[in-house]
Amino acid sequence: MRRTTTLRTALSALLLLGTWATASALPASAADAPARSTEAPASPELLSAMQRDLALTRNEAEARLAAEKAATAVERKARSAAGSAYGGSWFDADSGRLTVAVTRAAQADAVRATGAAARLVRYDARQLDAAKNSIDALSAPTGVASWHVDPKANKVVVNIVAAHRDDNDVRAFLARAREAGPVTVRQIPTAPRTFAAGTVGGDPYYTGNVRCSIGFSVHGGFVTAGHCGRPSAAVYGWDRSYIGNFQGSSFPGNDYAWVNVGSGWWTVPVVLGWGTVPDQLVRGSAEAPVGASVCRSGSTTHWHCGTVLAKNETVNYSQGAVHQMTKTSVCAEPGDSGGSFISGDQAQGVTSGGWGNCSGGGQTWHQPVNEILNRYGLTLQTA
């Protein structure tokens, strides 16, 4: 593939925000983009997306990014200070601080000394995780959408599809779940689904008759969603030229995969922007706390932002349960699967599925990127 102006223009128009294993005809704006000043909290376009999706002013968006960065940095110290009394943590957008749940007042002062706020709760994280693990062992009916530990509620939240709340099998499942520990029930309007799509011209990558979005570049390839392709399946780029093959893939149970890159394609630590948002450099994969803002990019709906709602959630897709997912308030639609979730300049995960759409709203889940890297022994490519 030759480096031509035509191909640069095509890629700029066709490659949506997803840290792409980009073609040798990659636009200079992506391949040669200089690092932004570390003093700038984000590009103007990223701030605009946060303003649109989170109902913030520009100053509020900048302040939130700074506060979330500080909260992410303090989380490990605060958890260590809480010790065995740790009950979970979350970013409080109103106070702009990390809040840590503790089961003993003696640890609250130690947590506050790290710069985090402290809240006394009844159950510690080990008790809540044990309850969730017991629920994981149950067979969930289709009317049960997902379940996760909610540190703010200090319970395990079980989400059910509203239309199925009175089903006998859903009621039986909830009765068994309550035997496992502290449980609260919430309703969502529709069942979760994955966001793969049939082939449509001019979108990021194809395998068989499925279109998905690239997540993040790693050394030797890129990571994406597991439901997009099985091991050894061939992968083709937006122009139908061969990129590589799925080297590993897991779904259900997990929803992650990685693809090797060659044949004139290469990888860069960039989330590309179709002219909507400037190319975003990826500088690491520090995990944002619950409550933090996060943005998603995919080949159908481009760039949307929201907040982290939950971690370690089990999602009950029609194909089977997927574990250890992160839930967000960001919307998505078919074809966005595998695309990038990023908080600031830190990679978060690859899009798995959700409910709703970007016209009426909805929620999505992503598979945390660090889990994918650890599973396959991959190294995230960073700027």
As annotated, the active-site residues are 227, 255, 337
Give, as one character, the DSSP assignment of residue 253. B
Q: Which residue has the tokens 């999602």?
A: 315
Environment class of 120 (CB within 10 Å of its CB; exposed 0-12, middle 13-18, buried 19+): middle
- Provide the 10 A C-beta neighbour count for residue 334: 21
Each as own residue / partner, the long-range contacts of residues 165-172 (CB below 8 Å, 24 or more positions apart, any chain) are 167/141, 167/143, 169/141, 169/143, 170/141, 170/143, 170/144
Q: What is the DSSP annotation of 120-179?
A: E-SS-HHHHHHHHHHHHTS---TTEEEEEEETTTTEEEEEEEGGGTT-HHHHHHHHHHHH
CA distance 41 to 67: 11
Q: Which residue has the tokens 């958890």?
A: 79
- Residues 197, 210 contacting (CB under 8 angstroms): yes
Torsion of CA 200, 203, 206, 209, to 10 degrees: -10
- Residue (of 139, 375, 378) closest to 254 by Cα position: 375
For residue 244, which amino acid is it? G
Residue 168 φ then ψ, to 5°:
-60, -40
HSE-CB of 333 using CA atoms within 13 angstroms:
11
- Residues 217, 383 contacting (CB under 8 angstroms): no
Q: Give kind and range of the element (H or E) at residue 14.
A: helix 5-14
Question: Per the structure block, which two tokens stand in for 120?
Answer: 């006394």
CA distance 281 to 296: 14
- Provide the 10 A C-beta neighbour count for residue 239: 13
